[in-house]
Amino acid sequence: MEKIIVRGGNQLHGKIKVEGAKNAVLPVIAASILAERGTSHIYDVPSLADVYTMREVLRNLNIEVEYENRSFRVNAEGVLKTEAPFEYVRKMRASFLVMGPLLARIGKARIALPGGCAIGSRPIDQHLKGFEAMGAKVEIGKGFIEAQVDGRLQGAKIYLDFPSVGATENIMMAATMAEGTTIIENAAEEPEIVCLANYLNAMGAKVRGAGTGIIRVEGVEGLQGAEHTVIPDRIEAGTFMVAAAITKGDLVVEGAVAEHLRPLIAKMEEMGVTITEVENGLRVIGPETLKPVDIKTMPHPGFPTDMQAQMMALLLQADGTSVITETVFENRYMHVEEFRRMNSNIKIEGRSAIITGPNQLQGAEVAATDLRAGAALILAGLVAEGVTRVTELQHIDRGYVNLAAKLQSIGADVDRIEEVVETGIEDMEAPASLRLNTNFV
C-alpha cells in the first residue's frame, strides 16, 4: 500500500510551478472528437490518472491519440465508434463529456453511467435536458445512457436549473455542429469554460459569451484540428497558496493567474495572508497569526467548492471561530472525520462546518476520501505534531502531479512510500536512493 508520509514543522520557501488545469484539459480532449479533419495539438497537459483515462476513452472510440512531453496529439478523422466502455467511464465522471461531441459528429452515443469522486449527488440531468432540447432521443437503462438523433442536432434555447460546468461544456460542444443557434442560459462562468470555448473557436466553431451567464453557439458544418494551450490549474495553485500560508512560509506560485483566483485571494487576505502579483505568478507570505473568516462555496465567480477542504485545513490554524457553508455539493464534508483524527475542533450543522481554532494538530493515519480532501490532509500534516500518514492515494493522483515531490522541493518533509505490510514491518520508509526526484522548480 502506498502512503504519503508528512512530518510537520517546516516552513515552505521558494518557487513552485503550476500544471495545466485538470478541469480544463479533460473537456478540451473530449472536444477533439469534433475534428472531422486535421490533427489537434494540445499543450501543457498534466500527467494525471484522469488524463490517461480520457486517452483510453478516445482510443476506444477509434481515435488516434499520442501523449508525450506534456502534449496531446489527436487525430479523429476515422470512422468513430459510439460507445465509451464502462471500464474507463466508471473511473472518471468527466468521461461523460464525450457524449456531446459524439452526438454532434455522428448522431449517436452510448455511455456508461459516470464515476469519479464520491462527493454527493452530481446528477447529469442537465446534460440530458440540453441534448433533448436539441432534438436527441435519450434512453437510460442497464447502466448506460444512449442518445441519438436523426440528421443534425437543432439549435435551441436551453436554461440550466443550476450553472453546471459539465452540462455547459457538453451542451456547448454538441451545439457547435447543430443546425441553427443554441443559447445556453444560466451557463457556468468558470475559466475552464472560456478555455474550452477558445479551443472550439480555434477549430472553427462560433461560440460567444463564454465566461458569462449566457452563451451563444452558432452551428457550423464541420470542425478541424487546432492547436491549443491549456490554462494553469487554479485549484493546484490555490493548494500551494494554502501550503505557504499554513506553514508561515514565503512561496512564489508560478503560473497562478490572479484573475482566476479572486475569491480565494480575497478570503486569504482577510485571514492576514500577504498575496502579491509577481511576474508570471503570485507570491504568498503566511502571517504569524491567522484570522478566522466565514466562507460560502458558490459557482464561479464565487468561492470554489474545490478549495473548500484545503481552506478548512487553513482555518483550523486561525485564532477564533470560522464557518464554512457548502452550497454546491452535498456530502462534501467526509474529510471532517479524518481531520478529527488529527485532533481538530470541527462541528457539522447541516451544510455548515463550524471550525474553532487554533488547533494543535496531531499526526495520525488518515484516508483521502476524495481528491481535494487528500490534498487538505497533506496540508494539515505540514503543521501537525509528529507524523501524518495519508492513504488512498489514487484519489490524489487524479488531480495532482507528483504532489509529494513538489512539496519536497519547497522544503516540506514529505515522502511517498510503498509500505510492506506482508512482513509485518509497517511504515517502512524508502531509502534515500529511491526517494522522489525533487527537481521541479
Q: Which of 92, 117, 158, 404 is catalytic?
A: 117
Q: Which residue, among 245, 283, 272, has the nearest Cα to 383 in the 3D structure? A: 245
**Nearest residue to 376 via CA among 390, 364, 394:** 390
Residue type, position 252, single letter: V
Q: What whole-number distance in Å separates Cα of residue 369 and Cα of residue 329? A: 15
Nearest to 76 by CA among 36, 29, 42, 27: 36
Nine cell digits for residue 186: 444560466
CA angle, 276 as apex, 275 and 282 as ends, to 5°? 85
123 is in an annotated binding site: yes
Q: Residue 306 annotated as binding? A: yes
Per the annotation, does 427 bind a ligand? no
Residue 149 C-alpha cell reads as 438523433
**Residue 304 in contact with residue 267, Cβ under 8 Å?**
no
Q: Is 125 annotated as a binding residue?
A: yes
- 126 assigned to a ligand binding site: yes
Provide the terminal-to-terminal Cα distance of the chain, rounded to the nearest Å: 29
Residue for cell digits 454546491?
328
Beta bridge partners of 48: none
C-alpha cell at 355: 471550525
From start to end of 27-143, where are the E strands? 35-37, 39-43, 64-68, 71-75, 83-84, 108-112, 137-141
* 59/51 Cα distance (integer angstroms): 12
The yes-or-no answer on residue 117 being catalytic is: yes
267 annotated among ligand-binding-site residues: no
Read off the DSSP letter of residue 343. T
3-state secondary structure 206-255: EEECECECEEEEECCCCEECCEEECCECHHHHHHHHHHHHHCCCEEEEEC
State yes or no: 122 annotated in a binding site.
yes
What's the CA gap between 338 and 309, in Å, rounded? 11
Residue 310 assigned to a binding site? no
> Where do we find the cell 534515500?
432
- Estimate to the nearest angstrom the gap between the alpha carbon of 250 and the chain centroid: 25
Please tell me the distance from the alpha carbon of residue 420 to that of residue 427, in angstroms, as a whole number: 8
- Residues tagged active-site: 117
Binding site residues for phosphoenolpyruvate, as ranges?
A: 22-23
Binding site residues, as ranges?
A: 22-23, 93, 122-126, 306, 328
Binding site residues for UDP-N-acetyl-alpha-D-glucosamine, as ranges?
A: 93, 122-126, 306, 328
